[in-house]
Amino acid sequence: KWYFDDDADLKWLQGKTIGIFGYGNQGRSQALNMRDAGLEVVVGSRSDESAKKSEEDGFETLPLAEAAAKADVLFILVPDEVMPQIYKESLEPGLKPGDTLVFASGYNIHFKYIQPALELNVIMIAPRMVGQGVRDTVLAGTGFPSLVAVHQDADGKAQNIMLALSRAIGSTKMGVIESSFEEETIVDLFHEQFGSLHAIRRAIEVLTEAGCSPEAAMLEMYASGEVREIGQYYVDHGLFGQLKLHSRTSEYGQLVYARGKPEQEEAHKDHLRGIVERIRDGSFAREWTDVQANGMTALKTAQEEIANDPMTIEERKLYERLGRFSA
Ligand code: NAI
C-alpha cells in the first residue's frame, strides 16, 4: 500500500520536539527538510565535525543524552553498527512513555540488537535515497520514495505519526510504501551482498587472462563512466526498456545471449536464494557481530587483500593517468 501527501497530516506532530541523533548523511538532510516543514528540531550529536555542521546550520545542538531527554520523536540516524550501544547508553535513559523512535533501517530492530520498551512507538521511515538526495530532491520539488513500517504502536497514533513524519521529511510527495523491518533488512542487505562488485572483478580477471589489457577491460566494465549513464537509463526507461537506446547487437547480446540456459539461470538463482536465506536466518548478522567483536580483523584483512590485488594496482595506475587520483 502506498501513501501520499493527502494521507499525512502534520497535526499529529503538534507540540512535539523532533530529535535528530547523528547529523550525517541522512540526519542533516532530514533535519533541514523537517525544519523547512515548520517543525521544531534539535540535534543530538557527539562532539565531532557533524556537531559543528549542525551548529553552523543553526540547529540547537546538544549531547546525545540531553537531546534524548528533550525530544518526543527520536530519529536514530547514527551508523547501524554503533546504534545499539548509543541507544543503551545515551538515548534509553532519557525516553518517556509515548515517545516515538524512528529508524531509517530495519536491521537493529529486526535482529533484536535494540529492544525498545513497550510503552514507546517504534516506526521505520527508510528512504530509498542517499542522504544528499534526500535534501536535493526535496529542494527540486520531486521528493523521494521510502519504505515505512510500524513495529510498536504504544499510543494508537504510531501510523499517523509515521505518515506525518514521512511528509515532513519530504517523502510522501513521491510516495511511501508500507513495508516491514524484516523486508527492509532483506532487500537492503541483499542489494549489498548479491555480488555486483565481485562479478565485475571476475569479468576483468577473465578478460585480462584472455589477453585484453587491464585498461581496456576496466574502461569497458566501469571506469569510463558509461555505467553512470546507463544507470540513469534504468531509472528513466526501465531495466530492459532502456535496451532500445543500445544497438541491436547489444540488445540481442544482453537480452537473449546473456540469459544463458534455463539450468544456468536456476543455478544462479539458487546461489541468490542462499544469500536471502542467510540474511533471513540471522547467519549474516551473527557473522558481522562476531567480526565487530573481534576488532574488525576480517574486514581489515579483506581491505588489505583488495588494496594489493593486481586489478586494484592496475586501477590505481589507470586512475592516476586519468587524473582521478594523485600519485
Ligand atoms: P553516517 O555514517 O552519516 O553517520 C551519522 C553520524 O553518526 C555521524 O555524522 C556521526 O556524528 C555519528 N556517529 C558515528 N559514529 C558515532 C559514535 N560511535 N558515537 C556517536 N555518534 C556517532 O550515517 P548515515 O549514512 O546517515 O546512516 C544513518 C542511518 O540511515 C542508518 O540506519 C542507515 O542504515 C540509514 N540509511 C542510510 C542511507 C544512506 O544513504 N547513507 C540510506 C537509507 C538509510
Distance 213 CA to ligand 1 centre (A): 39
Q: What is the pLDDT of residues 59-112, one digit of tens each?
A: 999 999 999 999 999 999 999 999 999 999 999 999 999 999 999 999 999 999
Judged by DSSP in three states, 61 sits in: strand
- pLDDT exceeds cutoff 90 at 51: yes
Cβ 175 under 6 angstroms from ligand 1:
no
Distance CA 149, CA 134 (A): 19
Distance 27 CA to ligand 1 centre (A): 7
Q: What is the pLDDT of residues 4-47, one digit of tens each?
A: 999 999 999 999 999 999 999 999 999 999 999 999 999 999 99
Measured in degrees and rounded to the nearest 5, phi and psi for residue 129 equal -165, 140
> DSSP states of 198-238 as a string?
HHHHHHHHHHHHTT--HHHHHIIIIITSHHHHHHHHHHHH-
Cβ 90 under 6 angstroms from ligand 1:
no
Cβ 77 under 6 angstroms from ligand 1:
yes
Partner residues linked to 136 by β-bridges: none
Distance 22 CA to ligand 1 centre (A): 6
Q: What is the pLDDT of residues 274-317, one digit of tens each?
A: 999 999 999 999 999 999 999 999 999 999 999 999 999 999 99
Judged by DSSP in three states, 151 sits in: strand
Distance 167 CA to ligand 1 centre (A): 21
Cβ 145 under 6 angstroms from ligand 1:
no
Cβ 86 under 6 angstroms from ligand 1:
yes
Q: What is the DSSP letter of 152?
A: E
CB-CB contact of 123 with 101 (8 Å): yes
Average pLDDT, the chain: 97
Q: DSSP strand E in 5-72: where?
A: 17-21, 40-44, 60-62
Contacts of residue 18, defined as CB under 8 A and 6 or more positions apart, other chains included, come to 34, 39, 40, 41, 42, 71, 72, 73, 75, 165, 168
Q: What is the pLDDT of residues 163-202, one digit of tens each?
A: 999 999 999 999 999 999 999 999 999 999 999 999 999 9
Distance 125 CA to ligand 1 centre (A): 14
Q: Give the residue, by CA position, lying nearest to ligand 1 atom 29.
A: 77
Distance 76 CA to ligand 1 centre (A): 8
Query: What ipTM does the predicted assembly reach?
Result: 0.98
Q: Give the residue, by CA position, lying nearest to ligand 1 atom 18.
A: 82
Atom of ligand 1 nearest to the CA of 64: 20
CB-CB contact of 162 with 123 (8 Å): yes
Distance 47 CA to ligand 1 centre (A): 15
